[in-house]
Amino acid sequence: MVATEVPRQKTWPVHLLNQKVHGRGWEFDLGPPEADYLCLEQLSDICYIDIRNLHQLIDLLAPAMEDAHFFVYSMGDGLDQWVDEARIHDGRSSFVRWAVAGDAWAEFPVLCAELGDSRAVDETFGRFVALMSDRRVI
């Protein structure tokens, strides 16, 4: 793991994962075996994690990143009824917070299906929704 310093003396846990080396056992193919992927982990030694730190890090990295679309949600910090949708496009980031009825880890596939209904023209998101539909908790 590489700790990267960013403004205000904060240390962020950021490291690269290589699909060929680290991707054994992944349930989906992210791209060519030689590809590296930026992995951001926010672990806390207290009950709540300040997600604003992650948003700030993504804002700082966005100008150097390719376009991306991903989700962040909490698992077990006691306030699990939210999912953040992050997008990076042309070097700029944006975030939307979605509220869910139950625990985010269980409701995430349902949220993806609902979002997919309104994003039918986005084929990549459609493939992601299909992947998530296999993970629905019943």
Q: What is the pLDDT of residues 57-102, one digit of tens each?
A: 888 889 988 888 888 887 666 667 888 899 999 999 999 999 888 8
Whether 83 maps to a domain, the answer reads: yes
pLDDT value at residue 87? 92
Q: Tell me how many domains the chain contains.
A: 1
Whether 133 maps to a domain, the answer reads: yes
Q: Which of 37-46, 66-75, 116-125 has the lowest mean pLDDT?
A: 37-46
Whether 124 maps to a domain, the answer reads: yes
For the cut 90, the answer to whether the pLDDT of residue 6 exceeds it is no
Whether 108 maps to a domain, the answer reads: yes
Whether 72 maps to a domain, the answer reads: yes
Query: Which range marks the domain in which residue 92 is found?
Result: 65-138
Residues forming beta bridges with residue 131, ordered by sequence position: none
Whether 35 maps to a domain, the answer reads: no
Given phi > 0 = left and psi -120 to 50 = alpha, else beta, which region is 42? beta
pTM: 0.68
Whether 127 maps to a domain, the answer reads: yes
Whether 103 maps to a domain, the answer reads: yes
Residue 106 has, within 13 A of its CA and on its CB side, a CA count of: 8
